[in-house]
């Protein structure tokens, strides 16, 4: 796995060198998240706000994206902290189509217990459509975990997810915004744990002028 990743990174780096300088973009936002857990017949639903940030670097057809967010989700009887993030490398196969690969993780922290972390190496596809050229775009992103693991109990896991929404850019301004809906689900192999997370996200970003 690591050898293959190194080869991919080497290829990406050499391609990137041939395609000029990197362009970066930053964003920060919040999400109203709903997490549902199910183990057998036991169900739990928690919700709350998660705040985070993201950075996207672009060089020619190559992209790198990092996202991180943390917050707290609760219900009437329980609560837990949540931290989630991803680090992806992407390739723009077509102007409207990007493929991604990289790790994606979410950790729930409950006091007095060890963290429960879902980790997936995922492959993704993002398709974009233009509503107003240079101003408004829609996007749909689908991902599927290639390998995955759950830390507590230590088990292998499978999972997948999707995100869709709207990107807006202000005319003659480097500010952009995004409203999106995200849904993900992880399944552990052993105890039959299933955890589904839905989120409505609102992100505001900045792309420095070239």
Partner 1 sequence: MDPHRPETRRRMTRTSALLAALWLCALWLPRAATAQSAVAVLAQGTRAYDDLELDNAAGLLRRALAFQGSDALAPADAARALMYLAATELLRDHADTARAVARRLVLANPRFRPDELVFPPQVLTFYEATRRATPAVIGRAPADTAIRPGVEALTVRLYASTFHDVTAALATEDGRVVRTLYSGPIGDSLDLHWNGLDSSGTAPLPNGRYAITVTSLDRQRRVARILRLPLEVTQGRVDTLPHPAPPADSLLLHERQPMGPGLRALAPAALTGVAIAVLPSVVANGEDASGARFVVGGTVTVAGIVAFFSHHPGRSIPANVTHNRALRDAWRREDAEVARRNAERARGMVGIRTGAPVLLTPEAP
Residues that bind partner 1 (CB under 8 A): 32, 34, 36, 128-132, 136-140, 160-162, 164-166, 179-181, 183-185, 196, 198, 200
Residue 66 or 140 having the CB closest to partner 1:
140
Say how far residue 182 (Cα) sits from the centre of its chain.
9
Q: How far is the CB of 168 from partner 1 (least distance, A)?
A: 9
Residue 86 or 137 having the CB closest to partner 1:
137
Distance between CA 175 and CA 55 in Å, rounded?
14
Distance between CA 179 and CA 1 in Å, rounded?
35
7 three-class SS:
helix
Q: How far is the CB of 189 from partner 1 (least distance, A)?
A: 17
Distance between CA 29 and CA 68 in Å, rounded?
10
Helices (H), the chain: 2-17
- The count of other CB atoms within 10 Å of the CB of residue 201 is 19
Q: How far is the CB of 43 from partner 1 (least distance, A)?
A: 10
Q: How far is the CB of 46 from partner 1 (least distance, A)?
A: 13
Residue 34 or 66 having the CB closest to partner 1:
34
Residue 112 or 133 having the CB closest to partner 1:
133
């Amino acid at each position: 796995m690591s050898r293959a990743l190194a080869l991919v990174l080497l290829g990406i780096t050499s391609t990137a060198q041939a395609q000029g300088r990197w362009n970066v973009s930053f964003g920060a936002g919040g999400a109203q998240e709903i997490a549902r857990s199910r183990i057998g017949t036991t169900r739990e639903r928690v919700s709350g706000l998660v705040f985070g940030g993201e950075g996207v670097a672009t060089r020619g057809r190559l992209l790198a994206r990092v996202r991180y967010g943390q917050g707290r989700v609760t219900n009437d009887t329980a609560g837990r902290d949540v931290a989630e993030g991803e680090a992806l490398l992407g390739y723009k196969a077509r102007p409207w189509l990007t493929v991604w690969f990289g790790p994606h993780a979410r950790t729930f922290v409950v006091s007095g217990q060890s963290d429960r972390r879902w980790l997936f190496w995922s492959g993704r596809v993002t398709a974009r459509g233009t509503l107003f050229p240079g101003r408004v775009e829609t996007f749909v992103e689908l991902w599927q975990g290639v390998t995955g693991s759950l830390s507590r109990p230590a088990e292998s896991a499978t999972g997948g997810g999707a995100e869709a929404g709207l990107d807006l850019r202000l005319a003659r301004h480097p500010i952009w915004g995004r409203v999106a809906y995200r849904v993900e689900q992880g399944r552990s192999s052993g105890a039959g744990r299933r955890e589904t997370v839905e989120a409505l996200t609102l992100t505001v970003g900045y792309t420095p002028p070239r």
